[in-house]
Amino acid sequence: MNSLNETPDILISGGTLLTMAPPGEIVEDPVIGIRNGKIDFINQGKIPVGHCENAREIIDASGCIVMPGLVNVHTHLAMTCFRGLADDLPLMTWLNDHIFPAEAKFIDRKTVYAGASLAIAEMILSGTTTFCDGYFFEGEVGRAAISAGMRGVIAQGFIDFPTPDQPAHSEKEGVAERFVKRWRDRSPLITPALFCHSLYTCSPETLQTIKAVARRVGVSFQIHLSETREEVRLIRELYGKKPLQHLHDLDIMDENTIAAHCIWIDEEEIDLLASSRVKVAHDPESNMKLGTGVAPVTEMLRRGIDVGLGTDGSASNNDLDLFGEMRMAAKLHKLFTGDPTVLKAENVVEMATIGGARVLGMSDRIGSIVPGKEADIILLDMRKPHLTPLYRPFSHLVYAARGADVVTSIIGGRIVMKNRRLLQIDLELVMEEVRRIAARIKSK
């Protein structure tokens, strides 16, 4: 693996490296070699003499934190088209009176591609290098990601009413199978997956059909779960069970299931999550904005459940900045438990990197800076007034830094942002396209 006798493609030299392997490790003044998209070696001190000085690109990381790119485990990228369209509303009003109608009227291949492209630009500009998206026309999200050089899990969405990409007569099993086949092995950047919206919008048959396909073809299955008290009430009314018990009885819970939110769950349901090794996506900003509640994250972590951080969509957040999400998670759980010593800065950075990779089943490839892993690396310039002085890097990442402090981003060994300039995306064009879509929505 460590091949100093080969010329690296990229060398990153200097600064402070947080490898996240193990979480909390700090390497001062590192030299990181990247070759063929992967991390080739990590040394300390001077650039090793030999082939290294011929690297195609040498990045000076002086004054910077070098760390794994962030992993956003739950989002709906195309919803950037609806950013700020409807705020300060309860989830069900927001969903039924604003989002679902807007989706029915305005979501098509073109809007999904445009919205996802804008979202990817925003994510790269704020340090995310892998996302996990669930929506409709999910292939368009894959296309946008490949074009931008972004890594993503794209989960095709299913719901029990006609959607723009699946009219009433769609046969879900075939749609799911074709989607995975089309996207499997298409690009090392893209991992296909399947997403059932929720227990209240998908019948037991839909859930079981999609999960069966996911098992057969070996991809992850995602779902919104126990997000509101109203949802819990509804599921009890419909099936006489708590949501997680319902999911369990349908035989859907396993280590390839990602449950987003998990707010209104009790001890017994946490037991079910832990024993079935279901992964959890925690979305504190969205949960707070919709006033839905607080997921028992410290308890889940204590029980060994893998929890990652997600932004949710821009219509309920309203941005995709995982630094904001880290800060919110750290502060929310201190408040919720009344204990300022929980979710320490190091734990929160872990959730946003290698912890998120575990949630997506990708921790063998991403989430930490280790030779052999994908070179998904970000640099933050710490020479800013709001980051001065610097006593402890992890503290600043969670409590003071923001996405805009990320200056350079590398995904799979390709530089996608350099000195805050996006290299693979025509940002003006992308923003203009979404503005045009928004103008149509406004005039509806």
From 83, 246, 261, 365, residue interacting with a copy of itself (rule: CB under 8 A): 83
89 lines the binding site for a copy of itself (CB under 8 A)? yes
Residues in contact with a copy of itself, total (CB under 8 A)?
A: 68
- Measured from the CB atom, the residue of 184 and 420 that comes closer to a copy of itself is 420
Interaction mask 229-268, a copy of itself, x per CB under 8 A: ----------------------------------------
For residues 201 and 20, what is the distance between their CA atoms, to the nearest angstrom? 38
* DSSP secondary structure string for all residues of 143-166: HHHHHHT-EEEEEEEE-SS-BTTB
153 lines the binding site for a copy of itself (CB under 8 A)? no
349 lines the binding site for a copy of itself (CB under 8 A)? no
Interaction mask 19-58, a copy of itself, x per CB under 8 A: ----------------------------------------
443 lines the binding site for a copy of itself (CB under 8 A)? no
CB 236 to a copy of itself: min, Å: 19
- Measured from the CB atom, the residue of 256 and 287 that comes closer to a copy of itself is 287
For residues 189 and 198, what is the distance between their CA atoms, to the nearest angstrom? 27
For residues 343 and 396, what is the distance between their CA atoms, to the nearest angstrom? 14
Length of the chain: 444
Amino acid at site 304: G
228 Cβ partners below 8 Å, 6+ apart?
91, 92, 263, 264, 290, 292, 293
434 lines the binding site for a copy of itself (CB under 8 A)? yes
Q: Which residues of 390-407 are buried (b: 16+ CB within 10 A; e: fewer)?
A: eeebbbbbbebbbbebbb
The pair of structure tokens assigned to 183 is 């996207």
What kind and span of H or E run contains 59? strand 57-60
Binding positions for a copy of itself, 122-151, rule CB under 8 A = 122, 125-126
79 lines the binding site for a copy of itself (CB under 8 A)? no
For residues 16 and 63, what is the distance between their CA atoms, to the nearest angstrom? 8
Residues near a copy of itself (CB under 8 A): 80-81, 83-85, 87-91, 94, 118, 121-122, 125-126, 285, 287-291, 293-294, 314, 317-321, 324, 327-328, 330-332, 334-335, 337-341, 344-345, 383, 385-386, 388-392, 395-396, 399-400, 402-404, 427, 430-431, 434-435, 437-438, 442
